Amino acid sequence: MNTSRYAAFAAGLALIVSAGPALAQTVGLTPIEQLHQALHLTPSQETAWQLYRSASDVPDKAQSRRRAASTLFRTLDAPRRMDLVEAEMRQELTDLEHQSQVLKAFYATLTPEQKHVFDERTLPPPGDGQSQSQY
């Protein structure tokens, strides 16, 4: 009985030790860094990745732009508020179109296996129809 306990302990320890480097590689990484690591990109894919990564920062920039517009919004009369909203919507569409083009260009460089990983890792959480991908 003790022998089987030691064998189970040794097997568990071996799994933990062998998983250690893999776990250490993902702990503390942002989701975009985890995606990058999971894709195992080749050097020739890295340029497209960098463009994709840069385009994925657009939501952060849009958030800053929205905060600035929100501050300005209260100081404007109704027609100018509408102009501001319209301009913001146009910029959002421009940003979305740019992100779409960059994503498609990057995606075209991926192998079928990498596409599968990318598709799986960029899905919104289940049951969250309103949530946007963080990539």
The answer to pTM > 0.75 is: no
Classify each residue of 15-41 as buried b or exposed e, where b means 16 or more C-beta atoms within 10 Å of its C-beta. eeeeeeeeeeeeeeeeebeebbeebeb
Position 31 pLDDT exceeds 70: yes
Residue 128, pLDDT score: 59
Asked if the model's pLDDT at residue 30 lies above 60, the reply is: yes
**pLDDT tens-place string over residues 35-73:** 999 999 999 999 999 999 988 877 777 888 888 888 898
Closest CA to 58 of 86, 87, 97: 97
Residue 10's pLDDT is: 41
pLDDT for the residue numbered 6: 44
Structure-block tokens of residue 73: 């919004």
